[in-house]
Amino acid sequence: MKLFSKNVIVGLLLSIGFSVAQAEGDMVSPKEASVLTAEKQAVIVDVREDDEWNAGHIAGAVHIPLNQLDARLPELQSYKESTIITQCRSGKRSLKALEVLKSAGFTKVSSMDGGIVAWTKDGLAAQQK
């Protein structure tokens, strides 16, 4: 029985480790996102609420609040073959948006690690509305 328990625990730990590694592969740093968007290799989809967007956002980003994303997926069809970087305030909602987009068939999707908080902390510009 002990051998079985150890194997189950090891299996669970490996599967958790795999999930973490997979999630890390879906992340880009704010500096990476800045370079990719400047070189027109990616588009940022900002999933924050209107008041957050109005307080400051990344130039060129597409604004679709997370709670509207499912209904507004057709607006992103022109980016289906492009790299999309989801972004929010700190990185939690953007991970949810990443999953929504992947479920809808978007294959080149990443989430910006740390959101706009990390973006501004890294000294990158955000514009006011």
Query: Is residue 61 in some structural domain?
Result: yes
11 catalytic? Reply is: no
How much is the pLDDT for 128? Answer: 62
- The domain that holds 45 is classified in CATH as 3.40.250.10
Domain count of the chain? 1
- Write the pLDDT tens digit of every residue in 57-106: 999 999 999 999 999 999 999 999 999 999 999 999 999 999 999 999 99
Q: Where are the alpha helices (DSSP H) in the chain?
A: 2-25, 30-38, 50-55, 92-103, 115-121
Q: Which domain holds residue 36?
A: 28-121
Q: Active-site residue among 88, 98, 109, 116?
A: 88
User: In the predicted model, what is the mean pLDDT of the chain?
Assistant: 84
Instruction: Quickly tell me which residue has 């709670």 as its tokens.
Output: 67
